[in-house]
Chain A
Amino acid sequence: MAGLGVAAFGLAVLFWVIPEHTESVGSGWLTPQTLPQAIAIALIALGIGQAALSIPIEPSPNRDLWRGLAVLFIAATGLWGIGRFGFLYAAPFVALVLMLFAGERRLIWLAVGAVVLPLSVWALVVLVLNRSLP
């Protein structure tokens, strides 16, 4: 299935992405499309080859799959929160949610992760390195 996915991706790049997102030029051995087209064709061939060879994948536990998606969602939400409310307000929540999600329940470590660490990072960047944060 992954091989067919790679081949389909190659086809999409070759017939849609490259024509829509590159400009045509009239000179030179190497046009903007040359290397991407060669890569797309190679991906199609390798994808078909991979599907034909049926190279097995080590299956991941379903629990880890869903939890991985959840972590990515938390991180993306955290990014939105940092952009909306600023680092100093959003980062402690992100850290706390992640630690609780990972199963940490000890108050001392939750306090370190949710308060001390974001404050330390903020102080290092803003006060010591003199750079700004959202």
Chain B
Amino acid sequence: MLDLSIVLAGLQDAFTPTNLLFVAAGVFLGQMVGAIPGIGPVMAMAIAIPFTFALEPLVGISFLVGINKGGIFGGAIPAILINTPGTPDAAATALDGHPLARKGKPLKASKMALYASVTGDTFSDLVLITVSAPLAVVALMMGPVEVFALMVFAFTIIAGLVGSSIVKGLVAALLGLLAATVGLDPEHGTPRFYFGQFQLFDGVPLVAVAIGMLAVSEIVIRLAAATGDARPAVRIAGGALADRVISFGEYWGCRFVMVRGAVIGTMIGAVPGIGSTAAAFMSYAAAKRVAPASEGFGEGALKGIAATESANSAVMGANLIPLLAIGIPGSISAALLISAFKIHGIQPGPLLFETQGQLIYGLFGAMILANLCNLVIGQVSMRLWCRVVQAPEALIFAAALLCCFVGVYVSTGGLFGVTIMLIAAAVAWAMRLLGYPVIVFIIALFLGDNFERTLSQTLVVLNGRPQALLEHPVALTLFCLSLVSVIYLGQRRQ
């Protein structure tokens, strides 16, 4: 039964001046890093996590959520201005955004992207707020056998949908699970794979690995490919008022496209592994299919921008549904939030609504607040981001590397963590060269502890009798679905 006092207390926590300040700061930072091609909100979140250690849990997590939301819109700006998406999901936005910018209407295109992004984001947040609590209640009815089966199913889906090959996806998942076995084993407390380094008794430092694999490996790749050439100049011409603003009539004219995009993004976001890029392209394709030829898709159609931005922004809120309801991250940004939760001693999962209800409803309030901040900051900072797009790559990535060094040093308390970060970066760089999905590795690493614990509980419950699985039809069904998904996705991908 929903306790309204907890909901109100959570919302009260969300709307404090401190929380508002950090949400706005997160959104501002997210829009800025999203506007710089190559950085993106995921890298910014990974680097920011250690710095949230000093903050209250709600404030720290709201800050990270703000970065993610701001970054998703921010990626549209370089896509529109210089046809270089700041984030992968903005690639679809460039299809109509850049042509409209070339017609002398870059501000109009950017504002349509902003309004559609906020609309889609708000829609999925409302869905998240509505369904995650009831889903968590259902999840609590599941025993360890069902939870273990669900994790196996989630791994097969994520491994199958991310990357180019399910075999490589499964290899990445297994490597992540293997890395998670470093440290004290959860059953007997004996040390494993610590190679004489006592700092590994608690396992590999998750923050160091996440930053190394997500941020530093990307920095290595970008610096390796850099040539020192300046980015093309961006002109925000004056022009008529109608070419610089979106009228209410133009926004309202895109309402069906935005709703369709928001629904597509929310449905795709709730399924682990698919991601916002697919949502953006699916929404664009759906909008183009039903639009008359006169709409001019591909030539600067406002509906083209609205379709992609509403969909890719709607993914973010929905990604948190499996995280909050059952503790399984639907995306890499959700996996990073697990790290943030753990830093503050909070274990994500279905019990979160019972043990940390005030925090969760505070988070919901902060997400709605972040949408408002996204709208306001996006409106006033548009011209600033147009300048940021031109920042030299060498400076940006050198600065980001220093931030990674410092962030990991501060969060792990020493240079050992920074060493692990560099090793993880080298591993991720090699994985990317060989085509193994790094995201799957990280999700498996983050869930590995839980995976082994539920496996142990499953074996105890089954008492060593495989036939006892017949007494758990939900788990049996999930195991069968896992096998089917491996075969089906394997045939599709190979």
Interface residues of A in 18-39 (CB under 8 A from B): 21-23, 25, 28-32, 35-36, 39
Tell me whether B401 is interfacial, beta carbon within 8 Å. yes
- Across-interface contacts of A64 in B (CB, < 8 A): 221, 224-225
Q: Which of B392, B395, B401 counts the most A-chain CB atoms under 10 A from its CB?
A: B395
Tell me whether A46 is interfacial, beta carbon within 8 Å. yes
Interface residues of B in 359-400 (CB under 8 A from A): 392-395, 397-399
Q: Across the interface, do A60 and B494 meet the contact criterion of CB distance under 8 Å?
A: no
Q: Which of B167, B225, B394, B418 counts the most A-chain CB atoms under 10 A from its CB?
A: B394
Q: Across the interface, do A67 and B225 meet the contact criterion of CB distance under 8 Å?
A: yes
Q: Across the interface, do B193 and A22 meet the contact criterion of CB distance under 8 Å?
A: yes
**How far apart are A102's CB and chain B's nearest CB, in angstroms?**
4
Q: Across the interface, do A68 and B185 meet the contact criterion of CB distance under 8 Å?
A: no
Q: Across the interface, do B460 and A29 meet the contact criterion of CB distance under 8 Å?
A: yes
Who on chain A is nearest to B193 by CB? A21
Tell me whether B181 is interfacial, beta carbon within 8 Å. yes
- Across-interface contacts of B194 in A (CB, < 8 A): 21
Tell me whether A11 is interfacial, beta carbon within 8 Å. no
**How far apart are B299's CB and chain A's nearest CB, in angstroms?**
32
**How far apart are B210's CB and chain A's nearest CB, in angstroms?**
17
- Across-interface contacts of B229 in A (CB, < 8 A): 103
Tell me whether B138 is interfacial, beta carbon within 8 Å. no
Q: Across the interface, do A55 and B51 meet the contact criterion of CB distance under 8 Å?
A: no
Interface segment out of the listed B171-179, B283-291, B301-309, B321-329: B171-179
A69 to B298, CA, bound (A): 40
A76 to B425, CA, bound (A): 11
Query: What 1/0 mask marks residues of chain A from 88 to 109 whose CB sits below 8 Å from any chain B CB?
Result: 0001001100110111111001
Q: Across the interface, do A117 and B178 meet the contact criterion of CB distance under 8 Å?
A: no
A68 to B51, CA, bound (A): 28
Query: What 1/0 mask marks residues of chain B from 189 to 228 whose CB sits below 8 Å from any chain A CB?
Result: 0111111000000000000000000001001110111111
Q: Across the interface, do B393 and A129 meet the contact criterion of CB distance under 8 Å?
A: no
A75-B401, A79-B419, A125-B406 known; A32-B494 Cβ under 8 A: no
Interface segment out of the listed B237-245, B345-353, B429-437: B429-437
Q: Across the interface, do B191 and A23 meet the contact criterion of CB distance under 8 Å?
A: yes
- Across-interface contacts of A23 in B (CB, < 8 A): 190-192
Tell me whether B468 is interfacial, beta carbon within 8 Å. no
- Across-interface contacts of A75 in B (CB, < 8 A): 216, 220, 401, 422, 425
> How many positions in chain B have a CB within 8 Å of any CB in the partner chain?
64
A32 to B187, CA, bound (A): 8
Tell me whether B170 is interfacial, beta carbon within 8 Å. yes
Q: Across the interface, do B464 and A46 meet the contact criterion of CB distance under 8 Å?
A: no
A109 to B226, CA, bound (A): 15
Q: Across the interface, do B228 and A103 meet the contact criterion of CB distance under 8 Å?
A: yes
Interface segment out of the listed B22-30, B81-89, B451-459: B451-459
Query: What 1/0 mask marks residues of chain A from 107 to 134 whose CB sits below 8 Å from any chain B CB?
Result: 0010011000110010001000101011
Who on chain B is nearest to A104 by CB? B394
- Across-interface contacts of B455 in A (CB, < 8 A): 30, 35
Query: What 1/0 mask marks residues of chain A from 41 to 79 whose CB sits below 8 Å from any chain B CB?
Result: 011001101100101011010001101101110011011
A99 to B402, CA, bound (A): 12
Q: Across the interface, do A30 and B452 meet the contact criterion of CB distance under 8 Å?
A: yes
A129 to B406, CA, bound (A): 12
- Across-interface contacts of A117 in B (CB, < 8 A): 395, 398-399, 402
- Across-interface contacts of A17 in B (CB, < 8 A): 193
Tell me whether B126 is interfacial, beta carbon within 8 Å. no
- Across-interface contacts of B220 in A (CB, < 8 A): 68, 71-72, 75
Tell me whether B403 is interfacial, beta carbon within 8 Å. yes
A50 to B166, CA, bound (A): 10
Tell me whether B168 is interfacial, beta carbon within 8 Å. yes
A36 to B229, CA, bound (A): 47
Q: Across the interface, do A30 and B187 meet the contact criterion of CB distance under 8 Å?
A: yes
Tell me whether B127 is interfacial, beta carbon within 8 Å. no
Q: Across the interface, do A25 and B188 meet the contact criterion of CB distance under 8 Å?
A: yes
Q: Across the interface, do A35 and B165 meet the contact criterion of CB distance under 8 Å?
A: no
Binding site for A on B (CB under 8 A): 51, 54, 164-165, 167-168, 170-171, 174-175, 177-178, 181, 185, 187-188, 190-195, 216, 219-221, 223-229, 392-395, 397-399, 401-403, 405-406, 409-410, 415, 418-419, 422, 425-426, 429, 433-435, 452, 455-456, 459-460, 464, 494
**Which 10 A-B pairs give the minimum distances between C-beta atoms?**
A103-B228, A102-B394, A29-B459, A104-B394, A67-B224, A102-B226, A68-B224, A99-B394, A32-B185, A30-B456
25 pairs of residues in contact across A and B, judged by CB atoms under 8 Å: A3-B167, A21-B195, A28-B456, A30-B455, A30-B456, A30-B459, A31-B187, A32-B190, A35-B177, A35-B452, A43-B175, A53-B494, A67-B224, A68-B220, A68-B221, A71-B220, A71-B224, A75-B425, A76-B422, A95-B402, A99-B394, A102-B394, A117-B402, A125-B406, A134-B409
Binding site for B on A (CB under 8 A): 2-3, 6, 13, 17, 21-23, 25, 28-32, 35-36, 39-40, 42-43, 46-47, 49-50, 53, 55, 57-58, 60, 64-65, 67-68, 70-72, 75-76, 78-79, 82-83, 87, 91, 94-95, 98-99, 101-106, 109, 112-113, 117-118, 121, 125, 129, 131, 133-134
